[in-house]
């Protein structure tokens, strides 16, 4: 499988490079419409972004957590609503990497490293980086180039895919591939990239202020990183390799931020909770991360982040009684986040109080009927409790936000499988994989469903129609390669 994927990526790189050279004379024609389209069309940007994101999902380098995902989407769309452009269809995801980095892929895919959220001290700092990356997307910096650099832009991103696949056994190589891609562009066109960075800073700071965040959040975060460079030596944080920072740029960002009214902005309660979740989800040892949070609390740092993190780590290691005690202080807070009752429900089920846990999930969902994590976690608990039909009802009767809607398909597949409806399970799993960018896996699910002799004529038609719909969306050259593969 890995060799096949590598050959596909290299083939794609070769084909696109050749096409780029063949189309070079077009650049001399009068520019009609958006000049960026001469380098990469919006359709090409979407294809490249989906390919890169799909490989990251395929090799499990995306930290998939419904609550963290919803937080990123909520934060990202709050910013997007105040941007200067009509916002594109942003897709946000968290990379399971403790290093500090963020990146914008073509096609409006925004990646944030887990390490960035752990390093930021305020929500405005995270929002500042995200606003900066959104500006790269809305200004189409991936597509804006001149002459030979247009070919390099396309080839660079496809080279990133190849590097991700080829280095899949080594997380450092894989995650670093994204930095490599942007680093190539930086080395080839330094002044152009500097211009992009200043433009993204300017637009991002304006967006920060309009969205109600501290407009100095971006400058303060990059200033902290710049001050820390003396501690790194040659091992700079990844974000400084892909987003070079100097005193001039920081000073200009601070000057721009000063143009807006000063305001005291407090981070939302969710900011602390998500930092705790990320730290637990990244941990190699739950006992060690529980010890970390316990140590912070014993040192007098009694924060919601440390209390929640300790409770989550203890619950993850099966210490549900201790987890309930650790979570108790947060249950009494008037401004507690929805993550608190969701964790409490999980703890109750872990203690064997399944009825109480499901009842708490139901009450929580009733209070926030459009909050995707409440829908997803309640449905998953119902499936685990042997109530797949009720889980399906919950999933289909609640409208969800964009952030975690793909998990709906995964759980609909699980519910159908638990109910013995194989055709439905294959259909929903195929949609789930396609949404993640795994076209190959999606088609394999549909093909497997069509091979089941016992499915009804209606189910067979439904699977065939979805298969054709997906095939119609695949570029012709990629489709030929897929058709030559088994399965």
pLDDT at 167: 52
pLDDT at 417: 96
For the chain, 487 residues long, the average pLDDT of each consecutive 10-residue run is 36 31 30 48 80 81 93 95 83 88 86 92 94 86 52 55 52 52 45 68 90 90 70 54 65 83 87 97 96 98 96 98 96 83 98 98 94 96 98 90 77 96 95 88 93 92 95 72 59
pLDDT at 143: 60
Domain spans, the chain: 2-258, 268-336
pLDDT at 405: 79
SS3 for 94?
strand
Burial of 247 (0-12, 13-18, 19+ CB in 10 A): exposed
Nearest to 369 by CA among 340, 338, 348: 338
pLDDT at 392: 96
H helices of 61-170, where? 66-80, 114-119, 123-138, 148-166
Q: How far apart are CA 102 and CA 274, in angstroms?
A: 17
No. of helices (H) and no. of strands (E), the chain: 24, 3
pLDDT at 222: 80
Q: Report the Cα 149 to chain-centroid distance in Å.
A: 28
Residue pair 114/282 in contact by the 8 Å Cβ criterion: yes
Cα angle, residue 420 at apex, residues 414 and 424 outer, rounded to 5°: 60
pLDDT at 35: 46
Order of strands, edge to edge, in the sheet holding 91-95? 91-95, 109-113, 102-105
Q: Which residues are CB-contacts of 204 (< 8 A; sequence separation ≥ 6)? A: 128, 131, 132, 134, 135, 218
């Amino acid at each position: 499988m890995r060799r096949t994927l590598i050959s596909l990526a290299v083939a794609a790189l070769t084909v696109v490079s050749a096409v780029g050279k063949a189309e070079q004379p077009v650049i001399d024609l009068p520019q009609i419409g958006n000049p960026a389209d001469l380098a990469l069309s919006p359709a090409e940007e979407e294809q490249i972004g989906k390919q890169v994101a799909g490989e990251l999902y395929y090799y499990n380098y995306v930290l998939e957590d419904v609550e963290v995902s919803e937080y990123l989407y909520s934060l990202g769309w709050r910013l997007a609503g105040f941007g200067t452009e009509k916002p594109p269809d942003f897709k946000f995801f968290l990379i399971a990497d403790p290093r500090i980095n963020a990146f914008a892929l073509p096609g409006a895919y925004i990646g944030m490293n887990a390490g960035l959220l752990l390093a930021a001290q305020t929500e405005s700092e995270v929002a500042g980086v995200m606003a900066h990356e959104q500006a790269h997307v809305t200004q189409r910096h991936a597509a804006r180039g001149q002459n030979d650099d247009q070919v390099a832009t396309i080839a660079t991103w496809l080279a990133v895919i190849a590097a991700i696949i080829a280095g899949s056994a080594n997380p450092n190589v894989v995650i670093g591939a994204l930095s490599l891609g942007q680093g190539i562009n930086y080395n080839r066109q330094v002044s152009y990239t500097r211009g992009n960075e200043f433009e993204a800073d300017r637009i991002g700071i304006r967006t920060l202020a309009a969205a109600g965040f501290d407009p100095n959040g971006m400058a303060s975060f990059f200033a902290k990183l710049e001050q820390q460079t003396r501690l790194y030596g040659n091992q700079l944080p990844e974000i400084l390799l892909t987003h070079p920072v100097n005193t001039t740029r920081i000073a200009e960002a601070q000057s721009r931020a000063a143009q807006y009214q000063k305001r005291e902005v407090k981070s939302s309660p969710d900011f602390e909770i998500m930092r705790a979740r990320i730290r637990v989800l990244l941990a190699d040892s739950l006992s060690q991360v529980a010890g970390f949070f316990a140590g912070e609390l014993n040192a007098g740092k009694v924060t919601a982040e440390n209390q929640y993190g300790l409770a989550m780590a203890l619950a993850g290691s099966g210490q549900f009684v201790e987890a309930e005690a650790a979570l108790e202080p947060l249950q009494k807070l008037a401004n507690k986040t929805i993550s608190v009752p969701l964790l409490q429900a999980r703890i109750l089920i872990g203690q064997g109080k399944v009825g109480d846990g499901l009842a708490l999930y139901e009450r929580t969902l009733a209070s926030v009927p459009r909050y995707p994590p409440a829908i997803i976690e309640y449905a998953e608990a119902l499936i685990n409790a042997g109530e797949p039909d009720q889980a399906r009802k919950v999933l289909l009767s609640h409208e969800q936000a964009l952030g975690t809607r793909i998990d709906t398909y995964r759980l609909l597949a699980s519910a159908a499988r638990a109910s013995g409806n194989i055709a439905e399970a294959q259909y929903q799993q195929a949609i789930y994989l396609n949404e993640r960018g795994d076209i190959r896996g999606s088609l394999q699910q549909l093909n497997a469903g069509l091979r089941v002799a016992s499915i009804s004529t209606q189910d067979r038609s439904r699977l065939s129609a979805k298969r054709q719909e997906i095939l119609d969306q695949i570029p012709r050259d990629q489709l030929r390669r897929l058709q030559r593969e088994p399965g």
